[in-house]
């Protein structure tokens, strides 16, 4: 089982493949039982069901010994609440580099959680020996652009994502 990544306010808890299977089948209660967590109404969204969750499940099953490099739920507080999800797009050797992604649910935005989760992922990747971490952000996503800027990411290019369209590509190199 992958490790939990902890910060001052957050725990990034591995998203279990069986929970994803339940969510994809519309079995929310079973997913919550597998995770031991209540999920907010906005998760999973239609986009999560169409793209994020199937892609993450595929990567988890293809490289089960590298699940640390896949999706996690962001939890905080007492009682523990799921406030978003974050993690890596997949193992660096599979996708070509360490790339983070994060999403904070609407109710919890504007409290610095995305920045805190993203920094925890970057720090963890560097601890694993990665020399560089990437993030791709839509040009009109001001909050996410602020997160990568605050963490010191530098834009290194652009790409066209088949789902999201134009993205700005950022990298943060280990010092």
Kindly report the CATH number assigned to the domain that includes residue 19: 3.40.630.30
Q: What is the pLDDT of residues 8-59, one digit of tens each?
A: 999 999 999 999 999 999 999 999 999 999 999 999 999 999 999 999 999 9
CA 49 to chain centre: 15
- Give the ranges where 3-160 is alpha helix by DSSP (H): 17-24, 28-35, 46-47, 53-62, 92-95, 113-127, 142-150
Checking if the pLDDT of 1 tops 80, the result is: no
- Give the model's pLDDT for residue 175: 82
Burial code of 14-53, b = ≥16 C-beta within 10 A, e = fewer? bbbbebbbbbeeeebeebbebbebebeeebbeeebeeebb
- Arithmetic mean of pLDDT, 166-170: 97
Domain span at residue 21 reads 5-173
Checking if the pLDDT of 116 tops 90, the result is: yes
Predicted TM-score of the model (pTM):
0.95
- Give the model's pLDDT for residue 99: 97
Cα gap 13→117, rounded to integer Å: 11
Q: Would you put residue 115 in left (φ > 0), alpha (ψ -120 to 50) or beta?
A: alpha
Domains in the chain, number: 1
Rounded percentage of the chain residues whose pLDDT exceeds 90 = 91
Residue with tokens 């009109």: 140
């Amino acid at each position: 089982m992958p490790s939990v990544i902890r910060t001052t306010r957050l725990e990034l808890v591995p998203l279990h493949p069986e929970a994803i299977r339940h969510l994809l089948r519309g079995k929310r209660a079973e997913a919550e039982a597998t995770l031991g967590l209540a999920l907010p109404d906005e998760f999973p969204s239609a986009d999560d069901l169409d793209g994020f969750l199937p892609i993450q499940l595929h990567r988890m099953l293809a490289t089960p010994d590298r699940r640390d490099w896949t999706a996690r739920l962001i939890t905080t507080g007492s009682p523990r609440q799921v406030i978003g999800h974050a993690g890596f797009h997949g193992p660096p050797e599979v996708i070509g580099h360490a790339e983070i992604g994060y999403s904070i649910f609407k109710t919890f935005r504007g409290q610095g959680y995305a920045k805190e989760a993203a920094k925890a992922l970057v720090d963890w990747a560097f601890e694993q020996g990665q020399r560089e971490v990437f993030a791709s952000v839509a040009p009109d996503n001001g909050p996410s652009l602020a997160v990568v800027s605050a963490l010191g990411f530098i834009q290194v290019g652009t790409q066209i994502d088949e789902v999201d369209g134009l993205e700005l590509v950022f990298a943060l190199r280990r010092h």
